[in-house]
Amino acid sequence: MTTERFSIDSSTKNLFDFELLFITKSKYSDDWTSVIHSHPFTEIFYITNGKGFFVNRRGKLEVRANDIFIINADMEHTEISSDESPLEYISIGINNLSFSRLARSEDSYDHYHFNDSQKYFSDYFNILVDEVRKQHYYYEKICQNYAELLITKILRKYNLQLQLEPGGILSKEVAIAKQFINQHFREQITLDQLASLTNLNRFYFSHRFKEELGRSPIDYLIYRRIEEGKFLLRSTDYTISQIANIIGFTSQSYFSEMFKKYEKKAPTTFRKNYKNNL
């Protein structure tokens, strides 16, 4: 008898520590109201039929059947349907989780189109709708598991990353600062700059940010850089110095110091451990 035994890396067991808030299935009708809005949670849309537009403050982007749309928390947006081909979609709301490395990272959203070979995407969305409609025993657990499977497939297919977020509704000022950091973390950002964006006193702003997100503004900025650094360590052959420069650290030594503080290991050790587990 020949046996192959594969060990399971448990280091990612808490990767999906999120809350599945809702599952909806929508179809355009005359009472559809398209108003620019935002949510304190991430949404994933799957366009099942028809066509229309995703709209934000900067403009609009056409969507059609078999598109997947990701909208991170606090991103202002709305959907507009075509009159000739009414828009239909399934969407899920996810709390405590957002996507990073989106192609349109400046706006915290992106969309993707899949073909027949990736039909499993539509299968997962339809199973979620079916489960929440019938509500048989343990449907909540099945929905959570399928949401995790769906997110995993999206991460693999489109080379994205997850970012765990504290729960709760953010104030407008903290949401603005958080989104600015997510968009510009590779640049040199100061506390005064962030406070100015929110029109708050720097000390009050810093206290409020930490109270709502569990981290100070500068701590959150470093955290975002470290998360990006981890991705580059896993997915590229860039030197530690190159990665430090890409993600906004002023020196390799400062990057290594902060990486050890957050990850309890050096960047080189992190990369070596990852490659050994492949």
The amino acid at 66: N
Q: Answer whether 16's CB lies under 8 Å from 94's CB.
A: no
Nearest by Cα to 70 from 16, 122, 114, 108 = 108
Nearest to 223, CA basis, from 258, 264, 190: 258
Helix 139-158 to helix 120-134 angle (10° resolution) is 160
Can you tell me which residue has the tokens 């970012």? 163
Least confident of 68-77, 102-111, 192-201: 102-111
Residue 247 tokens, joined = 């993600």
- Residues forming CATH 2.60.120.280 domain(s) in the chain: 11-163
Query: Letter for the amino acid at 152?
Result: T
- Burial of 177 from C-beta contacts in 10 A (0-12 / 13-18 / 19+): buried
pLDDT, average across residues 44-55: 92
* Digit-coded pLDDT (tens) for 79-114: 889 888 999 999 998 888 888 776 665 557 788 888
The HSE-up count of residue 151 (CA atoms within 13 Å, CB side) is: 26
Pairing of strands 78-81, 51-56: antiparallel
How do residues 142-190 score in pLDDT, each as one tens digit? 999 999 999 999 888 888 878 776 656 678 788 888 878 887 888 999 9
The Cα–Cα gap between 103 and 110 comes to: 6
Q: Could you tell me the CATH superfamily of domain 172-276?
A: Homeodomain-like (1.10.10.60)
Write out the DSSP string of 46-79: EEEE-EEEEEETTEEEEEETTEEEEE-TT--BEE
pLDDT band at 260 (very low <50, low <70, confident <90, very high): very high
pTM reported for the whole predicted model: 0.65
- Residue 66's contacts (CB-CB under 8 Å, 6 or more residues apart) are 47, 113, 114, 115, 122
Residues carrying CATH 1.10.10.60, the chain = 172-276
Would you state the structure tokens that stand for residue 144, as one six-digit string? 């959570």
CATH 3.20.20.140 fits 11-163, yes or no: no
Would residue 91 be called left, alpha or beta, if left means φ above 0 and alpha means ψ between -120 and 50 degrees? beta
Token output for 211: 């109270």
What's the mean per-residue pLDDT of the chain? 85
